[in-house]
Amino acid sequence: MLQWGTLLHMLNYLILVYVPYLAIQQTVNSVVSWSAPSNQPDIPGIPPVSSAGDLGACTSASLSFVDMFANKDDDQEWFLPKPVKPVKKQIRTSVRRIVGGNKSADLKVKACAGSTEWHIFAGRLDPATTVEDLTDMLTLKNIKVHSCSMLKKTEDWHHRFAAFRVVVDVRDKDNVFDGSVWPIGADVRDWWFSSKQS
């Protein structure tokens, strides 16, 4: 025989768990009955039952609310979720590269001499900066400058700054990127060549 405390505990559990379940079930039933075939009677508290043919491979009559709407296509036919195809990972092989170092004069094959110039962009400088100012600054830091030219100001915001294309000796390509050479806030980058530029 059940004790009084156990019986009260079971009643409290039913009230806390089953009553919210009934409210949810009633909402689900109203939505499901809206899309149920017309030949099925609506019985309060019991969800409409679809035939196994309507459910495809799934034969369970008690589908969850999410399953019902996640597995229905535009023609109101039930179908199984499509399997996800595994993605093949591409393995990149590293490209081997060397720079020749044989200085022998009797080689029949000769390499072309590399460029002796390195092109950089120097921007976000004061608008009053001139080509001579920039060339003198770099020369004082022992950086050999081949050429320096101010870039055209084609937009309104360009007039707030001065920007230059600077060509230095290739042996100074690392020295020109020393932060202590440039004033604070200057923007210095390798020059980017597009197919339209020379």
Residues 127 and 179 in one domain: yes
pLDDT at 159 over 80: yes
- The pLDDT tens digits for 101-133 are 888 888 888 888 778 899 999 999 999 999 999
CA distance 191 to 197: 11
Residues 124 and 180 in one domain: yes
Per the domain annotation, does 149 fall within a domain? yes
Q: What is the DSSP string of 22-43?
A: HHHHHHHHHHHHHHS-TTSPPB
State the CB neighbour count (10 A cutoff) for residue 168: 20
User: Hey, is 98 helix, strand or coil?
Assistant: coil
What are 167's strand-pairing partners?
Answer: 119, 147
CA distance 49 to 138: 85
Which of these ranges, 15-24, 71-80, 137-146, has the smallest mean pLDDT? Answer: 71-80
Q: What is the CATH number of the domain that holds 138?
A: 3.30.70.260
CA torsion sign for 172, 177, 183, 188 is positive
Give the residue, 189 or 70, on which the prediction is more confident. Answer: 189
Residues 175 and 126 in one domain: yes
Q: Rounded mean pLDDT of 150-168?
A: 93
Q: What is the CA radius of gyration of the chain?
A: 39
Q: What is the pTM of this model?
A: 0.45
* Domain region containing 147: 117-190
Residues 185 and 122 in one domain: yes
Residues 129 and 67 in one domain: no
Residues 135 and 181 in one domain: yes
Q: For residue 112, with 0-12 CB atoms within 10 Å meaning exposed, 13-18 middle and 19 or more buried, which class applies?
A: exposed
- The pLDDT tens digits for 45-99 are 555 554 444 444 444 455 555 555 555 555 555 555 667 777 777 777 777 777 7
CA distance 51 to 60: 9
Per the domain annotation, does 31 fall within a domain? no
Residues 77 and 131 in one domain: no
Count the domains in the chain: 2
Within 8 A by CB and 6+ apart from 80, the residues are: 56, 57, 58, 71
Residues 132 and 184 in one domain: yes
pLDDT at 153 over 80: yes
What pLDDT is attached to residue 178?
A: 94
Cβ pair 92, 121 in contact under 8 A? no
State the CB neighbour count (10 A cutoff) for residue 32: 18
Within 8 A by CB and 6+ apart from 172, the residues are: 118, 142, 143, 144
Residues 185 and 124 in one domain: yes
- At 120, the amino acid letter reads I
Residues 136 and 180 in one domain: yes
Residues 137 and 185 in one domain: yes
